[in-house]
């Protein structure tokens, strides 16, 4: 069964409009997902930077303690 040309062109136009609408919604959805992903990556980076500070302080304390012990050891060794 064939549809009149008028109905066929309307259906084609509707299909084109629907696919264009889906493309626009898909683009908006992709941008939204990208925005959420970028925010979560920034949050993870911020957390790791903040978490690195206490570790850095502990490492500095260990290095200072090593130099303190090393200097006292060298002084004792000179006295011998």
pLDDT given for residue 44 in this prediction: 76
Three state DSSP letters for 4-72: CHHHHHHHHHHHHHHHHHHHHHHHHHHHHHHHHHHHHHHHHHHHHHHHHHHHHHHHHHHHHHHHHHHHH
Count of C-beta atoms within a 10 Å radius of residue 52 = 10
What's the mean pLDDT in 8-31?
Answer: 59
* Distance, CA of 22 to CA of 15 (rounded, Å): 10
- The string of pLDDT tens digits covering residues 24-68 is 656 666 666 666 666 777 777 788 888 888 999 999 999 999 999
pLDDT given for residue 27 in this prediction: 64
More confident: 12 or 19: 19
pLDDT given for residue 75 in this prediction: 92
Q: Does the predicted model carry a pTM greater than 0.75?
A: no
């Amino acid at each position: 069964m064939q549809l009149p040309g008028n109905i066929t062109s309307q259906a084609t136009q509707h299909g084109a409009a629907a696919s264009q609408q889906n493309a626009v919604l898909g683009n908006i959805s992709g941008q939204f997902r990208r925005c959420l992903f970028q925010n979560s990556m920034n949050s993870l980076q911020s957390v790791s930077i903040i978490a690195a500070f206490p570790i850095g302080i502990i490492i500095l304390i260990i290095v200072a303690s090593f130099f303190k012990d090393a200097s006292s050891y060298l002084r004792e060794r000179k006295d011998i």
